[in-house]
Structures are given as structure tokens and as C-alpha cells.
Amino acid sequence: MNRLKYRSFFLDLLRKIYLEEFPEKIQIPFSDSDFIREAGREGILNYIYHNLIKKQGVLMLSPESVKKIDEYFFMISARNLRMQKELLTIVKGARETGVHDYLVVKGIHLINLIYKDLGTRPMSDIDIIYSPSALEKLKQVFLDNGYLFGKDSADGCHFKKDDQVIFDLREFEGDFYIGSLREKLSTITYNTLKEFRTEIILEGTPIPVLEPEINLLLFSDHMRKHYFNRLIWFLDFLLVCKAFKVDMNRIEKTAERLNLKKALDYTLYLFSEYLPWSGITPPCDLKWIERSFLKGIFEDRIKKGNTYLYFFALKGPVNKLILVIRKFFPPMREMRYIYKTENNLKLFLYYFIRPFSVLSSFILNILKTRGAV
């Protein structure tokens, strides 16, 4: 079964939960192990379990499978609870040190606002965007609380405890360039976000966070960068829209300012195409090729790779030629090469010589096999 068939079934389950349309019983059209694997891959296993098994009891799974998911639910609850406790410790330490120029973005706090139960939404880490002037003091707060510092590959910092990455600190998020086009796709920094700063109270402690609706833009940017690879991000977006009175006009204006309009448009288009019951309306100015690529990515017909970034490179014949070449001769370690290459000529030559290098390697391997080399 291809991924679209799994996704179609999961989207139907999410629709039932969202609209509160619960039948007497729901049969799973594939095995329990496939259900657990694929729902876990999409990040929605615990959400479905919580709503359709624990609360409604309508999803048909074997007792062994239910027990397995329940154990996973408990594990995620414990991990998320620990992450919240660690966040409180860091926030209190930062306040005592006089550090205020940072924001918790996306984040663990949204579980309390939109998911209600700690076990329903697996969290990988806590994302913090900071002002450069606050970095050294923030680092010291983490070190004083037993964290180990590690440099991230995307100009950020990871802080680990017990061999788990719990905090991901970034000065910026979402800066992407493609060759010499130098097109900055987003400008998410502390300075551009601080006007949207607010606070939530967690166990009596104020946590500096973004206004919930501005998080929608960060969700969109995150989904774009990761090829809309998990349904849980769509669920995050949808539940924020449901829980708060979202002013879409304000969000679109903010998206323009932050260079996130494309990311938002792509997200809204996929909602209208695959989650029409959400009531989220699509943008009307997407090109046919953009819509085709988006559908191909969501349906898993276009594999992950770097194809998605080339939405932003389709601006001339050279860029189109690059796209065609890489389609038939996908390069190795492409992501790293593109991020380090600022010269569009180098980028073109890299793709142009790719077919010849593939052909020469093929001939060389044949000669080696026959003992001619």
C-alpha cells in the first residue's frame, strides 16, 4: 500500500475527530502493525488513540496493539512532562540571571493550549529563538543546570541532558539561499518576532512565547522545509485555528513582512486540497507547476530530496534546465552542496556535468567487472 492510501485513511480519521462524527465501529483496512508504524510515522498515533480508542472506543484494534500504543502514550506523556519541567527550570534561571531576550517558539506549551493531554503530541525538543546579545548568558544558564553544549549544523545550539537533545537554540530560522539567486525565503529572528511576544503561565511561571496565531507561520515554514512530511503539523495548524480566533488577514500581512507568504500559501493550498472539511480556503495565485509539485510531494510521488526548494528556482531557462537534469541524475549530498554554494554558475556546472560523471562511472564499473581496468 502506498503512502497516499495510508494518509487518506488517517485524514478520514482526523475528519471524524474534528467534526465529532463517530460511527459505532471503524475497521482498519490494513494490519495493526502497519497502522502503528504509519500513524507513528505521521506523528498522529497518540492523538488517534486518545480520541478514538480511549475516549470513544470505536477503532478496532487487537488488545495487544492497544497495549503497545498505551505504553507508547505513557512514555510520551512522561517525556513531555519532563520537557515542561526542564523548560520551567531554564526560564526561572534566565529570569534570575537577567536574560529576557528570547522566545519559545512552536513548542511544548502548545500541548497545554490545543491538545490538553501531554501524551497526545510527541515533541522532539524545545525551540528557542534568542537575541545574539543574550546567547552567552543563556548558554551559562543551561550549563549551570547540567546541560551539555553541542554546535548544531544550522547555526544553532543543541543542549543535551542524559544523551537527549532537549533544547534547540537558534539565532534565526528558515534562511535559505539557492545559488546566486540569494533569495531569502524567510527572516525569522528574535527582532522580527519580538513584537508578537506574549506570555503563558505554566505552573505559576510566565513563559515568553509567540502569539498562537503567529506560530501558524512558523508551522508553515517548518512544513515547507520538511516537505510536508508529517500529518501532525497539519493537525497543529488546524487545532490552533480552531482554538483561537485567527485573523487570517493579519497573518497574511505578517507573512509578507517575514517573507513567509509562499510557505503559508503552500500550506493553505494543501489544506484545501486534502483537508477540505477544515474550512481553510486556498490562495488563488499559485502556478500550475507549484500545485503539481505540492500534490506530488504530499502524495509521495515526488520523493523527499531537494525538489521542493526548486519551486523558488524556476525563474529562468537555466534554472529549469537544472531542475530537469537533477530529475534524471539526482546528485549525492545535494542539500549540503546547495547550502554552501552561493554562485549560480557553479550550481549549474555541478548539475550539467552530473550526467557525464554518472555515465563515466557506469562505463568504468563495466570495465572493472570485465577485468579491463
Domain region containing 35: 1-61
- Identify whether residues 200 and 294 lie together within a single domain: no
pLDDT digits (tens, 9 = 90+) for 258-284: 878 888 998 999 999 999 999 888 777
Query: Are the beta carbons of 131 and 190 closer than 8 angstroms?
Result: yes
pTM: 0.81
Give the single-character DSSP code of 28: -
The number of angstroms, rounded, from the C-alpha of 121 to the middle of its chain's C-alpha atoms is 14
On the question of pLDDT at 14 being above 70, the answer is yes
Instruction: Name the percent of the chain in helix, strand, coil, to the closest 5.
Output: 60, 10, 30
Helix (H, G, I), strand (E, B) or coil at 26: strand
Dihedral angle of Cα 125, 264, 51, 26, to the nearest 10 degrees:
-130
- Identify whether residues 44 and 140 lie together within a single domain: no
On the question of pLDDT at 11 being above 60, the answer is yes
What is the band of 9 on the pLDDT scale with cuts at 50, 70, 90?
Answer: very high
Distant-in-sequence, close-in-space partners of 263: CB < 8 Å, separation ≥ 6: 185, 186, 217, 220, 221, 223, 224, 255
Distant-in-sequence, close-in-space partners of 269: CB < 8 Å, separation ≥ 6: 282, 283, 286, 291, 294
d(Cα 184, Cα 279) in Å, to the nearest integer?
A: 31
On the question of pLDDT at 47 being above 80, the answer is yes
67: in domain: no
pLDDT digits (tens, 9 = 90+) for 123-180: 888 989 999 899 899 999 999 999 988 765 455 688 888 878 789 888 776 544 444 3
d(Cα 226, Cα 308) in Å, to the nearest integer?
A: 9
Look at the chain and report how many structural domains it folds into. 4
Q: Which pLDDT score is estimated for 17? A: 96
DSSP string across 121-134: S----EEEEE-GGG
Q: Of 68-77, 182-191, 248-257, which gets the smallest average pLDDT?
A: 182-191
- Identify whether residues 127 and 40 lie together within a single domain: no
Query: Are the beta carbons of 277 and 18 closer than 8 angstroms?
Result: yes
| Winning range, highest mean pLDDT, from 5-14, 195-204, 240-249, 356-365 | 5-14
252: in domain: yes
Q: Which pLDDT score is estimated for 120? A: 94
Distant-in-sequence, close-in-space partners of 191: CB < 8 Å, separation ≥ 6: 131
Q: Which pLDDT score is estimated for 314? A: 54
132: in domain: yes
- Identify whether residues 236 and 347 lie together within a single domain: no
Residue whose entry in the numeric block shows the C-alpha cell 539565532: 171
Instruction: Residue 126: give its domain's CATH number.
Output: 3.30.460.40
DSSP string across 175-235: ----GGG------EEHHHHGGGEEEEEETTEEEEEE-HHHHHHHHHHHHHHTTT--HHHHH
Domain closes at, from 35, 61, 87? 61
